[in-house]
Structure 1
């Protein structure tokens, strides 16, 4: 029985709702996501009293979210609040009013808990071994040191995109003395963290709206072909360039920068200075952006027993897609087995030194995903669906290669304009697509009946021939015939005759 849950995050900049469905094998399907920029952090006065105006806005938003959850038959709502509520002197009054008016129980997360859920969302949606995670919110910043996929150290510091601008009275133009004072303050805070030295040279994984904005600005500036943010990669030089761009402009001018929304233009500068300071201090070269955060961390805590991270991020993501789209998992697994067997046997003539395992697994398992739209031309639908899905555990390059390879499992000479993706893949990658696409086509034809008649294969490579010997309990005449149709394409790619027996 599928279960629908709602997760509400009352942050210092925005209040968000995530609606998700948990299905078979703990598969996750996101149903809806909403946000309201209420800026609770800006509603705290010098005595840390949350203003009546902000309380009323929050109550109105939460009442709306509660109604939406009811309309979607949500069985469980998890609602949390972070730094603005955490530091408010009138916190108890605020929580009681939410309880009375919206019938919601709010859990105020400690800084350590907030950092933990940032970690948990990252470790379950990215292939991360060693990294420094940074989450910049409206009124707090979390830093998390990850080693060998384990959370080693973490801290939540009480400054973020909103209160940094307020503290240093940055209203429009960023004066040089303001920048110096802000950076001196940030350096002092970061240098107090002895363990931060261990992150020197690590990849920085960025969480939060301000860091996503960095990615959006960069994506727009280079006309990046993919329209999603998770796992987007940048260099420290890109961050420095964007920081130098925004700090020399007024608020009105910042609003005209592509990728920088008008809702964030007036608070982005403090966050950008914070990121720039950290990457300089820790000699960070690579930045990866995560679209996930504490909401997704809370979501994963619903499915991960004893809060133990997923064993395999990619497999979990692939299986969730197969389940959500009602695809034959047994057939997908068998195609993967046959394709991988072909790849391992033919490595001597494929001649690619890079690890292609994730690409082979993804393209084979998801090659039929487009049939959920319609069987006819489903390989074209598979291309689109993979390209526009957030498949956790894949780099953007691996995602693009997987999509093109999956689309190649039919032999109607699908036309793909690779030049549209030249920022992600190169000439060598096109050869990989052609070679693995052909192996996938052969594997698909070796299970043409979709009942695993061909149990396995054995390959023999000679000077000018390749023989694929099928292993089967009954005569696989249909499968042999269909797979043999790829002989001409095989000769063109590998300069060897193909025989399937």
Structure 2
């Protein structure tokens, strides 16, 4: 695969592009994301599905601009897919041939099942969950991909889209007709005869817009959309308020953004009906969708479109991009695991904290790369946003705080007040702070010493291979949890 790859997705409502850069075999990072609401399907559902000239011209001009961006970023590979509007349109070849003749790009029109599958690939690899159903609401269709035990078991597409319902029903004030149309289509889901998970991973512009409104309503302290999770029961009243809004002013009062005023009611109506019919209890919002799925299917084509076990793309990408020494990073990760294990009789923490301690230890030096002074604070601020994929919000906050308090003093309740809703008990964080501080102190001279650890009662015995005043003096200064004493042999 080319080092820099461009993925363009032409949807019924929006045309979107991501430009992704590889940093190692499976790791990558986003270097550009551009959206243009060209509404290529506008007017087509009232004209036997045929694309109209003005929307096609908007899409053509945006496509040209996308290619300018891609070329400027030295992208060596361009993959372009089109979904509902072009696969449904009898005159789709008019647009496809124009793009091919003028730009030399072949647009691949994918069927609904493939579109749903790509959304599933993105969520499977980039969301921290093993059992869920993706729901991707677009302008012309809605896709579902069912994931059980970390595998995609079924993908299906239904002709439920915001633009489609707007032109066929909402413009005629036929809400009852729209509801019946949705329910009739959803019968195809139940006819599959498969178990439907109670968690939905939401994909698409309408669902992301709803999530931003929920975050604002709840005064959510993190400005991170991907991985945001909420309970349907708690937020359903907002959905009802949007559907029942009488005009754009009422929608604005609910914090609907200007560019979503035209389709948010339809999108919310579709999503609300799906959640109710599928008995969904919780929703996780995904910032990744078809575009990332197309990229991952290409990147991971030799391993069943799944990352290798225990691989985290965000961690690997950050290690690659910030020039962190691989040997030092690997040592700190391995040593973190040893420290966690030997102290488990005292801290009694869940194994998930072992994984987070390893991640924090590996990524600690990012702060020094950004700016040596205040390195822990730099790393804290960056990690809150930099762990882009495959991390729950609570996990990234724990990692950030573990790094921030990797120093001589342990955190207090006042230190964690702002993000308290994401964090475990203060004693858990104090243990995490101590363990990463000890890990870093042991390797303060970058010598990667092979240390023997032995816990006897409440005393941790450390057998260091070589005498080092720098290391021993720093270990002796560490503030340890009250249950623990340290003895250096």
TM-score scaled by structure 2?
0.94
Measured after TM superposition, the shift of residue 413 of structure 1 is 7.1
| 8 A Cα contact 1:124 1:313, kept in partner | no
Q: Conserved in 2, the CA contact under 8 Å of 1:314 and 1:393?
A: no
- 1:186 aligned to which of 182, 185, 188: 182
Kindly tell me: are residues 195 and 336 of structure 1, through their superposed partners in 2, closer, same or farther at Cα, counting changes over 3 Å?
farther
**1:381 is aligned to 2:374:** no
Indicate conservation of the 8 Å contact 1:363/1:402, yes or no. yes
In structure 2, do the counterparts of structure 1 residues 255 and 169 end up closer, same or farther at CA, with 3 Å as the change threshold?
A: closer
**CA distance in 2: counterparts of 1:208 and 1:437, whole angstroms:** 38
- d(CA) in 2 for partners of 1:213 and 1:435? 38
Q: Secondary structure at the match of 2:446?
A: coil
1:368 matched to 2:365? The reply is yes
- SS of alignment partner, residue 450 of structure 1: coil
2:460 and 2:487 in contact (8 A); partners too: yes
CA distance in 2, matches of 1:423, 1:258: 24
**Whole-angstrom distance in 2 between the partners of 1:319 and 1:80:** 28
What is the CA–CA distance in structure 2 between the aligned matches of 1:130 and 1:194, rounded to whole Å? 17
**1:181 CA displacement:** 2.8
Tell me what 1:419 maps to: 417
1:26 to 1:353, Cα distance in 2 relative to 1, 3 A: closer
CA contact (8 A) 2:133 2:197 kept: no
Q: Distance in 1 between matches of 2:13 and 2:171?
A: 17
Alignment partner, residue 31 of structure 2: 31
Of 409-418 and 392-401, the range deviating more from structure 2:
409-418
Alpha-carbon distance change, 248 to 169 in structure 1, aligned in 2, over 3 angstroms: closer
- For residues 89-238 of structure 1, the aligned pairs below 5 Å read 89-170=90-171, 178-194=174-190, 198-238=194-234
Q: Which runs of 5+ in 1 are unaligned?
A: none
- CA-CA distance at 1:61 after TM superposition: 0.8
Is the 2:460–2:484 Cα contact (8 Å) retained in structure 1?
Answer: no
Say if 1:169 and 1:315 are closer, same or farther in 2 by CA, change over 3 A: closer
User: Residue deviations 1:462-494, cap 9 Å, x none?
Assistant: 2xx41232353x4455323322221xx21xx23
Tell me the secondary structure at the aligned position of residue 305 of structure 1: coil
TM superposition shift of 1:101 = 2.3
The correspondence for 1:460, drawn from 451, 455, 458, is 455
Q: Secondary structure at the match of 1:26?
A: coil
Residue in 2 that maps onto 1:318: 315
C-alpha displacement at 1:183, in angstroms? 2.1
Deviations 1:20-51 (A, max 9, x none): 11122332021111111111122314221111
Structure 1 residue aligned with 2:435, among 433, 439, 447?
439
CA 1:251–1:425 in 2, change beyond 3 Å: closer, same or farther? farther
CA distance in 1, matches of 2:176, 2:354: 48
Gaps of 5+ in 2: none
Distance in 2 between residues matched to 1:104 and 1:397, nearest whole Å = 42
Q: Name the SS for the 1:498 alignment partner.
A: strand
Classify the secondary structure of the residue corresponding to 1:455.
Answer: coil
Aligned residues: 486
The equivalent position to 2:482 in structure 1, one of 479, 490, 494, is 494
SS where residue 327 of structure 2 aligns?
Answer: helix
Per-residue CA distance 1:341-375 (angstroms, 9 max, x = gap): 11111112213346323321221111111122122
Q: Is the CA contact (8 Å cut-off) linking 2:40 and 2:58 kept in structure 1?
A: no
Equivalent in the alignment of 2:463: 470
> Residues 248 and 305 of structure 1: is their aligned pair in 2 closer, same or farther, counting only changes over 3 Å?
closer
- The DSSP-based 3-state class of the residue aligned with 2:186 is helix
Sort the Cα spacing of 1:276 and 1:386 in 2 relative to 1 into closer, same or farther, 3 A. Answer: same
Q: Given that residues 472 and 488 in structure 2 are in contact (C-alpha distance below 8 angstroms), is that contact kept between their aligned partners in structure 1?
A: yes
Alignment correspondent of 1:481: 473
Q: Does 1:268 align with 2:270?
A: no
Contact 1:20 1:30 in 2 (8 A): yes
Matched-pair contact (CA < 8 Å) for 2:377–2:404: yes
Query: Which residue matches 2:349?
Result: 352
TM-score, with structure 1 as normaliser: 0.91
